[in-house]
């Protein structure tokens, strides 16, 4: 590729690509091509998950790119996430192996616990990916597996070389603090929802102070959730029309999307924007260029939009649900 993106140095010295390609909601038709073009453009991190239901088709794009000599396996960070129905010691390995097979790779560079909530086991044959609901419709059924059990199972897979780095997603600072008390393999990355409406200033500070890198997901705020017709998102003002963001975008002759990513990247966060369109993919990747930067005052004005508004909040799924 003609452009090398910036990286974030992890605690073990390895370099995490700062701008990765998100894969949530990539359709079967689009995924192989979207992955292929992103690798051609120079993306070197693919952010997948069992839950996205598209690891096989994303893997198809990766395999094709490797076969065509676009990238070498070792130059790409392939990331996946453990779904909560597989948190029990006896299910972790099979879940990781299934995702590895779907991607067509021998190891994951990065593997996250997707949410810190364990749910009742659903066999692959019943439904894959299992989603939130035990019956596939509305019943949220918990399991009694604590995070520590899941973490220890994942540590074994690190020992065996199936996983290079562990990460946690959707963990708050208290959960992370607890994990750090027993983790033999330290978490390298925290991935959480971060955009100007949910700036997460303290959670980022805490994770970074403990040596973790932080990845921001859903950088465009409500945008991603409009596709799901989520009422919270439909009622939130679009960040693409937000006056502060628009004013700053105009001042730099950039789009609002680029400003939103730049705000995250300048905070030292990794981002994983998802785009089908090769033109948007390229625009997003090039946010890593240092030819333009936001001033401190602009950064603060954007952070000032924070209203602790989280779109991807599991508590919404659990309304009226008693654990046991």
- Using CB atoms, what's the residue nearest to ligand NAD? 22
- Candidates 163, 35, 45; CA nearest to 96 is 163
Mention every residue, 6+ apart, whose C-beta is less than 8 A from residue 292.
Answer: 252, 254, 262
Q: How far is residue 194's CA from residue 211's CA, in Å, rounded to a whole number?
A: 19
Nearest approach in angstroms of CB 296 to ligand NAD is 24
Q: Which is nearer to ligand NAD, 7 or 169 (CB)?
A: 169
Whether 113 and 78 have beta carbons less than 8 Å apart is answered as no
Mention every residue, 6+ apart, whose C-beta is less than 8 A from residue 133.
Answer: 139, 140
Nearest approach in angstroms of CB 272 to ligand NAD is 4
Sheet holding 110-113, edge to edge: 21-22, 45-47, 77-82, 110-113, 166-169, 189-193, 213-217, 270-271
Q: Which is nearer to ligand NAD, 37 or 284 (CB)?
A: 284
Q: Cis before residue 129, ω within 30 degrees of 0?
A: yes
Q: How far is residue 155's CA from residue 41's CA, in Å, rounded to a whole number?
A: 34
Q: Which residues bind ligand NAD (CB under 6 A)?
A: 22-24, 47, 114, 169-170, 191, 217-220, 223-224, 255, 257, 272-275, 280, 283-284, 312
Q: Please say if 52 is a catalytic residue.
A: yes
Which residues are bridge partners to 193 per DSSP? 217
Please pick, among 43, 52, 111, 206, the residue that the annotation labels catalytic.
52
Nearest approach in angstroms of CB 69 to ligand NAD is 26
Nearest approach in angstroms of CB 281 to ligand NAD is 8
Q: Is 175 exposed, middle or buried (0-12, 13-18, 19+ CB in 10 A)?
A: middle
Q: Which is nearer to ligand NAD, 191 or 198 (CB)?
A: 191
E runs forming strands in the chain = 7-9, 15-17, 21-22, 45-47, 77-82, 110-113, 166-169, 189-193, 213-217, 270-271
Phi, psi of 320, deg, nearest 5: 75, 10
Nearest approach in angstroms of CB 283 to ligand NAD is 5
Nearest approach in angstroms of CB 125 to ligand NAD is 25
Q: Which is nearer to ligand NAD, 152 or 282 (CB)?
A: 282
First to last CA, the chain: 53
Provide the 8-state DSSP code for 93: H
Q: Which is nearer to ligand NAD, 53 or 184 (CB)?
A: 53
Whether 109 and 134 have beta carbons less than 8 Å apart is answered as no
Nearest approach in angstroms of CB 229 to ligand NAD is 13
Q: Which is nearer to ligand NAD, 13 or 190 (CB)?
A: 190
Q: Which is nearer to ligand NAD, 158 or 283 (CB)?
A: 283
Which residues are tagged catalytic? 52
């Amino acid at each position: 590729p003609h452009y090398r993106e910036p990286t974030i140095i992890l605690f073990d010295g390895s370099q995490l690509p700062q701008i990765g390609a998100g894969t949530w909601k990539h359709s079967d038709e689009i995924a192989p091509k979207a992955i292929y073009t992103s690798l051609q453009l120079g993306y070197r991190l693919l952010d997948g998950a069992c839950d996205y239901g598209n690891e096989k088709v994303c893997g198809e794009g990766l395999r094709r790119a490797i076969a065509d000599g676009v990238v070498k396996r070792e130059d790409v960070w392939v990331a996946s996430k453990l779904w909560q129905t597989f948190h029990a010691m006896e299910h972790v390995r099979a879940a990781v192996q299934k995702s590895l097979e779907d991607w067509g790779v021998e190891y994951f560079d990065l593997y996250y616990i997707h949410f810190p909530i364990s749910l009742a086991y659903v066999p692959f044959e019943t439904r894959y990916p299992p989603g939130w609901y035990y019956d596939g419709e509305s019943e949220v059924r918990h399991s009694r597996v604590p995070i520590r059990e899941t973490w220890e199972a994942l540590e074994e897979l690190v020992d065996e070389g199936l996983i290079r780095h562990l990460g946690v997603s959707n963990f708050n600072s208290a959960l992370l603090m607890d994990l750090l008390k027993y983790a033999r393999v330290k978490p390298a990355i925290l991935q959480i929802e971060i955009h100007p409406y949910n700036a997460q200033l303290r959670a980022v500070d805490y994770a970074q102070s403990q040596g973790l890198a932080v990845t921001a997901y859903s950088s465009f705020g409500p945008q991603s959730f409009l596709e799901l017709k989520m009422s919270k998102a439909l009622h939130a003002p679009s960040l693409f029309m937000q006056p502060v963001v628009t004013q700053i975008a105009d001042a730099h002759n950039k789009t609002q999307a680029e400003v939103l990513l730049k705000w995250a990247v300048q905070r030292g966060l990794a981002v994983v924007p998802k785009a089908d369109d090769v033109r948007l993919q390229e625009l997003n990747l090039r946010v890593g260029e240092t030819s333009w930067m936001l001033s401190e005052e602009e950064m603060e004005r954007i952070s000032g939009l924070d209203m602790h508004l989280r779109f991807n909040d599991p508590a919404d799924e659990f309304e009226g649900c008693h654990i046991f």
